[in-house]
Structure 1
Amino acid sequence: MGGLTRADSASMHEHDVTSPDGTRIRGWRTDNPGPPVLLCPGLGTAPEVWPMLLVPDLGARVLSWYPRGTMGSDRPADESRIELADHVADALAVLDAAGVRRCVVMGWSVGVMVAAELARRHPERVSGLMFTAGVPGDLFGAMLSSLGIPAVLRRALTLTGTHALRAMSPLIDAVMQRVPMNKVTATVAQHSGLMLPGADTQAVIRMLRQFVQHDWRWYFTLALAVSSVPARDLRGVTCPITVLAGQYDLMASPERAAKPVAMLPQARVRIVPTSHFLPLEAPDVVVEELRMLLRRVVAVERARDLARPPSRDPIDALIPPALTYGSRLRT
């Protein structure tokens, strides 16, 4: 199934939504049957990174978007409007456009920060969380952690390196536009350390062809805009959480990915023998854990409904708790 293409998924559609600051955001969705799931994307990543989320029998309807200034989404008129709060506003705009009041929220890489912040600021919109190969804060401090480099030093290294890459962006643009994306390129990428062998080669090729088209100065500008977000305390988040961490992830080690949820009673952590590109290298695990999370959410919300005091409204008293939850899940 790793080789699924957009053409194979007739239910995948792109559409435009408008964020509160007026920025036009390109969203995408699947029309599969099942409860809605919001996917907070990594920077500049296409649906091809998540091949299994496009399959018709997933059991969930996926909603997502492309970050500001990438892959069809406009840059904001005020180009400073690319902070974490702006990405959260885009997520809410996608939910509102789809008429979804509350759902499970997933995130990968930088998208984990967006998903976590959405849950912190708007817990009423989030029924469950899945963090995939990412951390909810201190993005640059989490990089290279698996190499044993001290936190202060690796944060300085990664920040300096990202500033240098932004300065070199014209050269990167010129090189990327000339490199053919084929089986050889994909094989090199899968042995680079940033990725590992195991993903479907054709899926990797399709992902790379989308990825290299970025304006790289803007891409690194987006990354630097969220670099100052500190480590987040998630103790106030009470919904079920699943953390999927790549054992060989250079961008967010398993320890850094698991630490923010270590004290949460509803958290489940699974370490997978993959790199940062866990959705490509272990797509079956993603689907398995998503389906399990959806079942956990149903159980938790049903228990909470049953534990609530009886309503004083005689109309509400006639509605069974399970029916109330089912209606909310289908919104």
Structure 2
Amino acid sequence: MIRTAHVNGIDLSFREEGDPAAPALVLLHGRTADHNHWNLFTRRFAARFHVIAPDLRGHGASARPAHYALPDMAEDIVALLGALGVEQAVLIGHSLGGVVAYHLAMNHPERVSLLVLEDPPAPVPHARPPLQDDTPMMVETERQIVDPDPAWAEGLKRVTAPTLVLAGGPSSHVIAEPLADLIPGAKLVTIPVGHLIHGDAPEEFWAAVQEFLE
């Protein structure tokens, strides 16, 4: 079911599947994608979880406001959980969605039971080619990815949820591996297929996540 909630001052579209009485699991897509990013897995997860798959601000059917601060994008999800009466959830985020997930987990550790980060950029300086897309969402998020606030790396020490970091290996353009050192007790698993692990190695992704969730 596709629904819309007015949260944190914006309209956020989201897909909801599974039993609302089951433990909540939030799927956060990568940059330029939307909730359909997770179509291979939404119903699989819904067999045991209340699945919430939002379109992040600036994506899909959600609002496109003027600002895209990464901590604000995390607050959108906190507000969505509040609107749905969800006190705590499993978070699974790919790429930009992983960044949003770790900001939520470090700023609201009590809201996250388990954290899965699929090849998100760690909050360390990145050297990347210039963007070819000058939309506000792309420009503002890229600026924060390549030159992150140094406080963010320190803030990851506040994450209390058991955390799985999935890295795409040498063929990924993203530096995710430092997250495993920055987040207390995090487990690092490398699936060397590049950045889109759940798309290019879906069964390996599923097996790693299921082992962690168990």
Distance in 2 separating the partners of 1:54 and 1:25: 18
The amino acid across from 1:288 in the alignment is A
Residue 35 of structure 1 and its aligned partner are, at CA, apart by 2.1
Note if contact 1:49-1:279 (Cα within 8 Å) is conserved in structure 2: no
SS across alignment from 1:166: coil
1:66 and 2:52 matched: no
Listed one character per residue, the Cα deviations across residues 33-78 of structure 1 (whole Å, up to 9, x for unaligned) are: 84211122212213343233223465323212112232111122xx
Unaligned runs of 5+ in 2: none
Q: Distance in 1 between matches of 2:36 and 2:171?
A: 19
Percent of aligned pairs with the same residue? 25
1:19 is the counterpart of 2:7: yes
Task: Name the Cα RMSD after superposition.
Answer: 2.4
Partner of 2:85 in structure 1?
99
The letter for the 2-side match of 1:94 is L
- Is 2:139 the counterpart of 1:224? no
| Aligned amino acid, residue 166 of structure 1 | D
Shift of 1:125: 0.4
Structure 1 unmatched ranges of 5 or more: 1-12, 142-154, 168-216, 296-331
Pairwise CA distance, 1:242: 0.4
- 2:163 corresponds in structure 1 to 241
Verify the 8 A CA contact 1:44 1:67 in the aligned structure 2.
no
Q: What residue in structure 1 maps to residue 26 of structure 2? A: 38
Residues 68-109 of structure 1 show CA distances to partners (whole Å, capped at 9, x for unaligned) of 232111122xx1x21112201111122112211011111111
TM-score (norm 2): 0.84
CA distance, structure 2, for counterparts of residue 96 and residue 117 of structure 1: 17
- After superposition, give the CA deviation of every residue in 1:8-38 in whole Å (9 maximum; x if it has no partner): xxxxx21111122x21111122225842111
Map Cα deviations across residues 223-280 of structure 1 (whole Å, 9 max, x no partner): 335334236132232221101111244321xxx3222222655321111121111110
How high is the TM-score relative to the length of structure 1?
0.57
SS of match in other structure, 1:235 = helix
| Number of matched pairs | 208
Classify 1:270/1:40 alpha carbon distance in 2 versus 1 (closer, same or farther; 3 Å).
Answer: same
- Equivalents in 2 of 1:102, 1:260: separation in Å? 22
